[in-house]
Amino acid sequence: MNTSIIVATMVQLLYMGENSIEGLILETFVNLCSTSSKDLFSDEVMKYEQTCSVSQGELSLWKWVCDQSLGLMRTQTDHKKLARIVKIVERLTATEASNTDILLSMGLHEYIIGLLQWNNSPPEEAQVSIEAKIFSLELDTLLNSMVTNLVNCGV
């Protein structure tokens, strides 16, 4: 099986912006990054990221992740989608230190700080829904796991 082709195809599908497909692709990334062969798939994702050239119009998963996360934080519209995106990043940090180094060079540190600042900012509304509180806790858990993964990698 040629995993690099699968990764490239999945990233292309994400850029199509089709909501019905997007959710399935995000779940597929999460599941493939959490199976017993997660290192193989995560390695392929990192190889793809290293070889793609955004300046030449190639599609980057990391750029999509950052752009989507920022947009979702601004609009506060789809917590489930944001959680899936953050879970993909968390799963990628749970692999080899070399993959984590690649993510750090692409801006993982700033990504984590941005999510923490957004998640810990005071709510604009006086009443915060129970769903929003649960999401905030879920996001904190994912971010704590990312930081733990970074520490375990010796970063």
46 neighbors 99 (Cβ within 8 angstroms): yes
Q: How many domains does one find in the chain?
A: 1
| Residue 146 belongs to domain spanning | 3-152
Stronger pLDDT, 86 or 57, i.e. the higher one: 86
Residue 143 has pLDDT above 90, yes or no: yes
Task: Provide the whole-model pTM.
Answer: 0.84
Residue 123 has pLDDT above 70, yes or no: no
**pLDDT tens figures, 27-59:** 888 888 775 565 778 888 888 888 886 556 678
Residue 60 has pLDDT above 80, yes or no: yes
